[in-house]
Structure 1
Amino acid sequence: MSIPAQPVIKCESVYKIFGDNAVKMLKQSGGKVDTASLLEAGCVIGVNNASFEVHKGEMLVVMGLSGSGKSTLLRCISRLIDTTAGDIFIDGEDLLAMNAKELINIRRNKMGMVFQSFALLPHKTVLENIALPLQAKGMSTNDSMDRAMDMVNLVELTGCENDFPRQLSGGQQQRVGIARSLAVEPDIWFLDEPFSALDPLIRREMQDEFLRLQSSLNKTILFVTHDFDEALRLADRIAIMKDGVIEQIDTPANIVLNPATEYVAKFTRGVPRERVLSCQTIMGKYDASAEMSDITVSEDAIVETVAESVLTEQKPVAVIDAENKIVGVLNRSTVIHVLFGEANSMPVNN
């Protein structure tokens, strides 16, 4: 029996309540926070009893409407703000027990942060902006510039390294912000609505770029957004928040097909399932004795991209993994059910 890997991020009953009486009110509540009572006492709930884990290489997208607590949760985990109660562990280390020096060290060496505001220094070039955190760590000018140039190439801004921020488009400026956060080679990447200020077309391009980077870098990521389509496109798992409470934390497929609450269901209504489900999530068991189609589909392929091919086949279509091993099958009936069936009757493989 294999032992599960230690989570990179672990939160246990994390609370963040704003107000002078926050600690007293929380103790009196016994952990069962009543929003109305807190408001009467002059307190506001930011995070309400959040418990979850994030494992190495996983992208957890935290989403919700304005005021849901998603950005507050991210700031608690990065310790930009202090929690009211609960425990947070980074690679098994107690984040809340760290002193100022230890906290600076973990931020410099393990954490990268990207926010909605690009926060680029206008009087410095692209290369100089990216090199700045490296020089703050004590890296020499030459080495920091070499590393910064590697990051310029990684985010495909080659040729713009000597430009100033005012010469760049919004999307290019955001790429500089991403490159700067990656320059320190963080293990954990915090992104707080990094694309929300961008135009829709540029935003889509940045999502593509982000997915490309993650496929090669395999970072552990906490990504905050209010855009459900963005969450579905990027996430390994999604945590949906309302009034500081995590209403549901699950894979995009399970959230779309099996919303845990009416609030979560509101986000999923109208979402075409074929755009979020992978072949792996709906495939059936493979029977080696069955006659198969000549075509195959990848287990990671989104159903929308293979639906037409599968529907034209009378025989089952093999689903293969990265090593071209057959791991399941897709049938015409299964794809038809995804396209036209009832969401709550669609089985999902976890």
Structure 2
Amino acid sequence: MTDPTGRNAKLVCRRLWKLYGAEPLRRLRERGIDLAAADPADSRRVATELGLIVAAGNVSFEVEPGECFIVMGLSGSGKSTVIRCLSRLVEPTAGEVELDGKSLLAMSERELIAVRRRRMGMVFQHFGLFGHQTVLENVAFPLKVQGIGRPEREKRARETIELVGLKGREESYPWQLSGGQQQRVGFARSLAVGPDLWLLDEPFSALDPLIRRQMQTEFLNLKRMLGKTVVFITHDFLEAVYLADRVAIMREGEIVQIGTPAELMLRPATDYVRQFTRDVPRPMVLTAGDIAEPLGGNGEIAAGAPEVRAGTRLAEILAQVSIHAPTLTVVDPAGRPVGRLTPQSLSRALGSAERPA
């Protein structure tokens, strides 16, 4: 986990609030509410009494370098508001947002524009391509805004276009491309500046299912290749499970649980989280390491027990295990035993998750 102080985090979001309505801070202060210090439940209650809309309430999380952190929830849960607050496309009412230890909320407009142009890549559900410009011109546009000369910006744009699999379509116009190809152009344009932080707001939701899965796979390949830190918004838990290192589930402007996909499935904090995970095919998500039982007190393993890597999906293991099969020894990437997997533990994992406390 990330250091709770945020010292090791790439991006830190602390006690973030976004309230809609007239003069929310002044009106809350008149009722004795300081969003930075008051109990979140009291703040929300008073805000509601004042007729304010709580789009995001007391949202806190940290994103590690190279992590794909997904924020998900139903429509109206506040997830898109949060990602827009991170870039200050929407101004937060209160809270802190830091990138590499520097406050984004304290930046001047000029400083913020520089960060957006050079350190952030943003992709949204609607591709926002310029219809009168070619693929090459669309991808090179943010570099043009930076003042980079034409030879250099076109060189970098061509490299990025090839990276997303569109080599040969540089002179095409958006209307000549499929939806998936247009989204690739959007990815290329956001990556051309070499951003430290990649913000993606439901980038695949407008695509057909088959194209969507293909784009998800290509996104993972790009993310692994480039090592980008990603905040990704979605309403689809299957998408979150496939793409995320960790997931934050939001409801009515609040985060109700943060965890790895396996943690959310095996230990849902609330029935609301359980509803999201209920229909997910567990063998395709859970790994041997997720459900491994501890070794005995002396660390001994069963003689002759077959080994399985901790990262192996249960779908692959099912073919090796039956109710009469021996215990499997779960090993880490270095081959060291870290736990054991029995038919009974496998059966429990594939059954119902723990009841929330």
Give the structure-1-normalised TM-score. 0.89
Match of 1:338 in 2: 349
Contact kept in structure 1, 2:72 and 2:240, CA below 8 Å: yes
Match of 2:291 in 1: 282
Total equivalences in the alignment: 343
Match of 2:12 in 1: 10
Alignment of 1:5-44 (within 5 A): 6-27=8-29, 28=31, 29-30=33-34, 31=38, 32-33=41-42, 38-39=47-48, 41-44=50-53
C-alpha displacement at 1:258, in angstroms? 1.5
Indicate yes or no: 2:96 matched with 1:94: no
Match of 2:249 in 1: 240
Match of 2:273 in 1: 264
Moved more, 77-86 or 136-145: 136-145
* Cα distance in structure 2, aligned partners of 1:310 and 1:53: 38
Out of 314, 325, 328, the residue aligned to residue 317 of structure 1 is: 328
Quickly say closer, same or farther: Cα 1:312–1:263, change in 2 above 3 A: closer
Match of 2:312 in 1: 301
* Cα distance in structure 2, aligned partners of 1:115 and 1:142: 28
C-alpha displacement at 1:48, in angstroms? 0.3
Moved more, 315-324 or 81-90: 315-324
Paired AA for residue 7 in structure 1: A
User: 1:123-151: CA deviations, max 9, x gaps?
Assistant: 22212211111121122211111211211
Contact kept in structure 2, 1:291 and 1:316, CA below 8 Å: no
C-alpha displacement at 1:114, in angstroms? 0.3
Alignment of 1:78-93 (within 5 A): 78-93=87-102
Contact kept in structure 2, 1:275 and 1:304, CA below 8 Å: yes
C-alpha displacement at 1:44, in angstroms? 1.0
In structure 2, runs of 5+ residues without a counterpart are none
Quickly say closer, same or farther: Cα 1:267–1:178, change in 2 above 3 A: same
Quickly say closer, same or farther: Cα 1:247–1:326, change in 2 above 3 A: same
Moved more, 104-113 or 34-43: 34-43
Structure 1 residue matching 2:56: 3-state secondary structure: strand
Contact kept in structure 1, 2:7 and 2:101, CA below 8 Å: no
Quickly say closer, same or farther: Cα 1:161–1:301, change in 2 above 3 A: farther
C-alpha displacement at 1:333, in angstroms? 2.9
Moved more, 297-306 or 41-50: 297-306
Alignment of 1:186-205 (within 5 A): 186-205=195-214
Structure 2 residue matching 1:53: 3-state secondary structure: strand
Moved more, 225-234 or 5-14: 5-14
User: 1:266-287: CA deviations, max 9, x gaps?
Assistant: 2122333223212221123465
Contact kept in structure 2, 1:279 and 1:298, CA below 8 Å: yes
Match of 1:348 in 2: none
Contact kept in structure 1, 2:124 and 2:203, CA below 8 Å: yes
Paired AA for residue 54 in structure 2: I
Structure 2 residue matching 1:150: 3-state secondary structure: helix
Out of 63, 69, 93, the residue aligned to residue 54 of structure 1 is: 63
* Cα distance in structure 2, aligned partners of 1:310 and 1:117: 46
Contact kept in structure 2, 1:21 and 1:41, CA below 8 Å: no
Contact kept in structure 2, 1:291 and 1:315, CA below 8 Å: no
In structure 1, runs of 5+ residues without a counterpart are 346-350
Indicate yes or no: 2:124 matched with 1:138: no
Give the structure-2-normalised TM-score. 0.88
Match of 1:125 in 2: 134
Match of 1:250 in 2: 259
C-alpha displacement at 1:203, in angstroms? 0.8
* Cα distance in structure 1, aligned partners of 2:111 and 2:311: 40
Quickly say closer, same or farther: Cα 1:190–1:23, change in 2 above 3 A: same
Match of 1:165 in 2: 174
* Cα distance in structure 1, aligned partners of 2:168 and 2:327: 49
Paired AA for residue 182 in structure 1: L
Contact kept in structure 2, 1:293 and 1:313, CA below 8 Å: no
* Cα distance in structure 2, aligned partners of 1:228 and 1:337: 22
Match of 1:291 in 2: 303
Contact kept in structure 1, 2:329 and 2:339, CA below 8 Å: yes
Contact kept in structure 1, 2:123 and 2:199, CA below 8 Å: yes
* Cα distance in structure 2, aligned partners of 1:244 and 1:186: 28
Quickly say closer, same or farther: Cα 1:227–1:26, change in 2 above 3 A: farther
* Cα distance in structure 2, aligned partners of 1:131 and 1:313: 61
RMSD across aligned C-alpha pairs, in angstroms? Answer: 2.5
Contact kept in structure 2, 1:60 and 1:238, CA below 8 Å: yes
* Cα distance in structure 1, aligned partners of 2:285 and 2:154: 40
